[in-house]
Copies of this chain bind each other. A is one copy, B any other.
Amino acid sequence: MFTQINYPSRLDYAAICQRPALEQGQLDALISDVFRQVRSKGDQALRELTATYEKREITDILYTAAEIEDLASKTDIALQKAIDHAYANIYAFHAAQKLVPNKIEVNPGVVCWQKATGIDKVGIYIPGGTAPLFSTVLMLAIPARIAECQEVVLCTPATHPAIFYAAKLCGVTKMAKIGGSQAIAALSLGTESVPKVYKIFGPGNQYVTAAKMYANRLGTAIDMPAGPSEVAVYADHTANPAYIASDLLSQAEHGADSQVILISTSSDIVEKTITEIKIQLAELPRKDLAEKALANSKFILVNTSAEAIDLLNEYAAEHLILACDDAEEFSGYIRNAGSIFLGNYTPESAGDYASGTNHTLPTNGFARAYSGVNLDSFTKKITLQSISKQGLEQLGKTIIDMAEAESLQAHANAVKIRIN
């Protein structure tokens, strides 16, 4: 069930870091047809597509405030308290990401700075399916609120009360009863009921993913490219095999395509972790899914922590758990990862739900170039500059010389006319 790789050479790293190939464009014809229908028939297309693909009848596309209130109130009280706690932590961490004012006088009389403004209209997709992802509502709608996005439209085919409780708590402005690629088409194009948004966030199946890529090509921004969820654990001799096993399993239970990797300098830890996994797996309700994911897992023994660092930077894990001595110092060598969990008492599930960090993270090696969702994801940074007449007189020659060398005379003239 487990692939064990002992002491790989640098040449093996590329193969170890290979993710399953993602399907590209195979669904394009289908998605393009869904977009065409939504573009031409608006809400009516959403009703028809929901009936066809989901066997659900919907009349109104949007939930009313009373419906949201009613569903939200059905949330178990203990769960409400848990969500409130997570909300406070996620809010605190994301609010701390606000742009620090950076007005600087670059030259005398030449002042430049940035300001961040919320993206006016954003869409959040929350899938239906086996796990009701109210935690993802928090992870996306909280930074949207902090960014002061004016319209936050949440589309979901799911009806779990906690999704409505979380949405209400976060100030989501509209909720739509739609799912799948038609929900993404509605957010991208707009319909009578669903506002056209400028950026779409959230997880989904292959249809939703393909629809987000399609929307992106039409000009709607998206959070990031998608791929199966993954965890890499680095463990030295100080790690606890039972804890590691529980982390690997919490990733494996997400789905059969989940990626699970253990890298260790200790063969003892690797063996004991495998034993622990077998014990803990037996008890899991989602045992079948986890078992399938474990079939693709890799347990890799390396000679030194330096080798582990190289391999981890090449792999660029979505979640990276450092179960090792002085994990914080070790993390200083990590250049590529979505989110890093330090030490024996920091399980991935803390960040998945409640510590405050975001759980929407780059998979599939995208952590080499992409950040996870953070406050920036819901804002644009606009640059501003203010130059005095004296400032322009000082800077003018530089601008004129460069503009003329680029053969852009009108650019030079815009300075000359002001200072001559």
**Chain A residues within CB distance 8 Å of chain B:** 24-25, 76, 78-79, 81-83, 85-86, 89, 92-93, 96-97, 100, 102, 104, 106-107, 110, 112, 114, 117-120, 130-135, 160, 162, 198-199, 213, 217-221, 225, 242-243, 246-247, 249-250, 252-254, 280, 283-286, 290, 313, 327-328, 331, 334-358, 362, 364-372, 374, 376, 379-389, 391-392, 395, 397-399, 401-403, 405-415, 417-418
Contact = CB atoms under 8 A, between A and B. Distances in A.
Contacts of A104: 92-93, 96, 356
Contacts of A340: 382-385
A182 to B, nearest CB: 21
Count of this chain's copies in the oligomeric assembly? 2
Of listed A25, A131, A358, A405, residue having the most chain B CB within 10 A: A405
Contact of A410 (B220, B252, B401): B252
Contacts of A25: 217
B290 A348 contact: no
A387 B346 contact: yes
Contacts of A414: 243, 246-247, 249-250, 347-349
A242 B417 contact: yes
Given A219-B366, A406-B135, A410-B249, A345 B387 contact: yes
B353 A79 contact: no
A370 B377 CA distance: 9
A412 B85 CA distance: 16
A343 B387 contact: yes
A332 to B, nearest CB: 9
30 contacts: A24-B218, A25-B217, A82-B398, A82-B399, A86-B398, A97-B102, A112-B357, A120-B313, A131-B406, A135-B406, A219-B225, A221-B366, A243-B414, A246-B418, A284-B409, A284-B410, A340-B385, A341-B385, A346-B385, A348-B414, A349-B411, A350-B415, A352-B399, A355-B385, A357-B383, A357-B385, A372-B381, A372-B383, A374-B381, A376-B376
Given A24-B217, A369-B198, A370-B221, A355 B410 contact: no
A368 to B, nearest CB: 4
A355 B286 contact: no
Contacts of A366: 219, 221
B119 A398 contact: no
Nearest to A92: B106
A253 B408 contact: yes
Contact of A355 (B106, B135, B213, B335): B106
A112 B93 contact: yes
A406 to B, nearest CB: 5
A313 B392 CA distance: 28
Contacts of A370: 221, 380
The 4 closest A-B pairs by CB, nearest first: A82-B401, A221-B369, A347-B414, A198-B369
Contact of A285 (B86, B358, B407): B407
A371 B367 contact: no
A114 B95 CA distance: 13
Nearest to A135: B402
Nearest to A242: B417
B110 A353 contact: no
A349 B385 contact: no
A367 B115 CA distance: 13
